[in-house]
Structure 1
Amino acid sequence: MFTLLSRIFIKEDQLSMVEIREKYGVLCSILSIIANFICVAFKLVFGTFVHSSAIIADGYNNLSDAASNIASLTGFKLAGKKPDAHHPYGHGRYEYLTGLFISALIIYVGATCLIESSLKIINPVKLNFSIPALIALCVSIMIKLWMYTFNTKAGHIISSETLLATGRDSLNDVITTFGSMVALVGSCFTTFPLDGLIGVLLSLFVMKSGWDILRDMIDNLLGKVPDKEEINAITKTLMNYDGIYGVHDMMIHDYGPGRRYLIVHLEIDSESDMLEAHDLIDSIEKDISEKFQIFTTIHMDPIQLHDPLTNRLKDQVEQIIAKIDERYSIHDFRIVKGTHTKLIFDVLLPDHNGSEKEIDKKIKTEISHIDDAYECVIAYDYAYY
């Protein structure tokens, strides 16, 4: 059904990627709002009828889900706004802010249900088993499974953390509703406050899920490490171009889904024709932007490839660096010849451990063993991926 609706309402061949994201987000949000209100009606009515705190708590959880879907709808509409004078990088991070709201709401509902369920353990209330209530819960599970399916599918299509979070929340609801069913059926066989106990366990599960989503959204807003597979794919693509001899200082800035920016340095032959090299860089920027859906800016680093002394010294320095730590690497190596020849290069360190002074001392000591007339000018970089 979702595939049919998406074909009707989303004409992908006529829209930009940002517009496609907005269309999918709006469609999923509206469908989720409708489905959640149906679940709320079922659970509150039948939960009250059978005196089940687990079912009533589950119903309020679905009500909070509907509120979060409304927030998602608003978030996708705001995220789809075009860049303006005050927000040149667009409004894509509204989607992450929406995710924060959803996660906070999930945690709040879980905490509320935890208190109510704990009181049910202290002061148990006998449940009234009802076949219609059981059927209502089964229907709710089927609705939530459908919601999980289409939100997750759409989330992967448009790489939306918000829709994937909504999908995970729907799967959580399937588990909590099943727990409510167990409590309802179990009431026929025991006087133990099973309803309250299951309510407590489900509340903790819901809160844990909300915390996981909150942590992911905070990571997105702070700027998390890019996906390693994507970094490797971009690096491999860049190195496949003729005339490119090295890739370094790669950074990806995330301003929200569909609003990512790549900055990278590429090494070229210093003896290349500058106009031809500039044309190559322009074409690479365009190719990477289209292939990976990321705005790309490339800095061009000329390196000496045909000077024997430069090549020999670079090999020696690379051996020294590998001896200190095989994880380290160098780039932008060049020399300035004179009475005291300068070796100028950058060292890439794997982590921010604050040990540059110690490493610097080791490198310069080892290079002085080659020739104490060499002077080193070393800059230290860190990987952002």
Structure 2
Amino acid sequence: MILIVDDRPENLISLQKVLQAHNFEVDTASSGEEALKKVLKNNYVLIILDVQMPDMDGFEVAEAISGFSKAKDTAIIFLSAVNTELKFITKGYLSGGLDYITKPVDINVLLLKIKTFYRIYEQNRKLNEVQEKLLEEIEFRKQAEHKKDEFISIASHELKTPLTSVKGYIQLLQRSLKRDDKAVAQNHLEKASIQLEKLNELIVDLLDISKIESGKMKFNMKPFCADNMVNNAIEMLQQSNPDFKISKLGQTDEMIFGDEMRLEQVVINFITNAIKYAPGTDQVNVTVNIKDEKLYVAVKDFGIGISKEQQQKIFDKFYRVEENSNRFNGLGIGLYICSEIINRHGGTIGVNSVPDEGSEFYFIIPTTEEEILKNQI
């Protein structure tokens, strides 16, 4: 848009009509003060500014505009019928003008200049867009590299912890066997088995994320009973966590289409996290139902909860809540893997949570092959 600034109405009207006839969007101001107010509120590609105005002349207006950050790319053309001497033209350029035209104005020349300024403005705008995109890409790649390095460091630590524990328990087991102390040996063996299971879970997660990255994560899609899948996950985790009461709310006998093993993996991850991030509690609720040909599964705990800001990132790859990273082990990829599994089923995954009151993780997926294919991301 072009702003014409002139204290004489006849000049404003005539120039406005000419520019509008050439398809330029035009705004007007009849004083320097009005022009400054409009520049603060609107964006202009070009300002055509009369020099000789009462109260505030064109030079003063231009100097004031040059101090506005939002108008730094706005071109200014001075028009003057009186101040045509070289010193005034020089002053115009020093005041921030890109051109100085003396009256009477050759309208064809003015139009050519305006079109040139528009073309330069458009080129600069595109260059700025490209520059911003490049900077965003660089920032994204720096952050990605940082996350990758951080993940490698975390993964090394997380894998080393259970491995070191297993070595320690094996040494204790060997000593117990030498003393023929079978009860103590059995205890050490059970603890070593627990650590090996943790190590196995970490390795499975690492393999899964590698398959996701390479596009080689396989899915065995076929009909199965959703209720049985949820029951299996609950039963397995109830046995390994006898102090927790894992309650199932709702049920369904319907068959759905999907990868039973992968979906069970999601439910297990939800329940495992519900137990892990709810120290001092002993209740987890698992809800399952089918409505409008969609399976809904949710796992609710009564633990530490997640803030609104963190809820937006919780399914991102390698994301770990900073204040919890030292209290709870993990690679920060479990929920990312879950989200990829649900995406492959054409569904949605999410969380509802209130800090210090608990979290409810859920997924919703179509139950038929046709709907899954239609909704796949």
Normalising by structure 1, what TM-score? 0.23
Greater share of helix: 1
The structure whose Rg is larger is 2
Higher relative contact order (CA 8 A, sep 6+): 1
Greater share of strand: 2
Normalising by structure 2, what TM-score? 0.23
